[in-house]
Amino acid sequence: MLPSAHFFMVIIIWYVFYVLKIHIKMMFLVMLISGFLIDLDILFTREHRRSPFHNFLFWAIISIFLSFTSLMYSLSLIASFTVHIILDSIDWGVYPFYPISKKSLGLRILAKKTNLDPQKESIITFIKANLSDKRIMLLEITIDAIGLVILAHVINQIGFFEFLMD
């Protein structure tokens, strides 16, 4: 999925926590940062989703250490990571137990339609493939629209800086 879907999905999940009154100060920032940290592996490897950043064990360890600071930070990290992995599993699939298991999991809608090779193709080629699939684009647009409406509503109700710090 594209970064916008990850960003707005974090907003949607944060809002669910917020409505349920399960939140603490800075929780949104923890969720947002963790939601994007996962994709930092693109800077280090062409095997984007086979790195520790897309691995359950890696984030479980980080979450355990974060829980010593705050259980809510740990829960928000787990929520962000889980949603990110679910979204990534829809288009190309993920390797959440790599290197223990080299099996790709998920719907893999685009992976089934194309023979793109992460070792040979650029990230731009993969983005173009995402943009060309109607089902993926419908999902992206839906997530982005819902997230944008929630973001606008929350900022209108409590203000931008209060939103970030609440």
Q: Render each residue's pLDDT in the chain as its tens digit; 166 residues.
A: 888 999 999 889 888 888 888 876 677 777 887 777 788 877 877 777 888 888 888 888 888 888 888 888 788 888 888 888 899 999 988 888 888 888 889 999 998 888 887 667 777 888 899 899 999 999 999 999 999 999 999 888 877 666 666 5
The two three-digit tokens of residue 124, written as one number = 């731009």
The string of DSSP codes covering 77-146 is HHHHHHHHHHHHHHHT-B-TTTTT----BS--HHHHH----TTTS-HHHHHHHHHH-HHHHHHHHHHHHH
**pLDDT at position 160, please?**
67
Judging by beta carbons within 10 Å of its beta carbon (0-12, 13-18, 19+), is residue 91 exposed, middle or buried? buried
Q: Are 143 and 3 in contact (CB under 8 A)?
A: no
**Measured between alpha carbons, how far is 7 from 29 in angstroms, rounded to an integer?**
11
State how far the Cα of 85 lies from the Cα of 63, in Å rounded to an integer.
15
Determine the Cα–Cα distance for residues 109 and 19; give it in Å rounded to an integer.
33
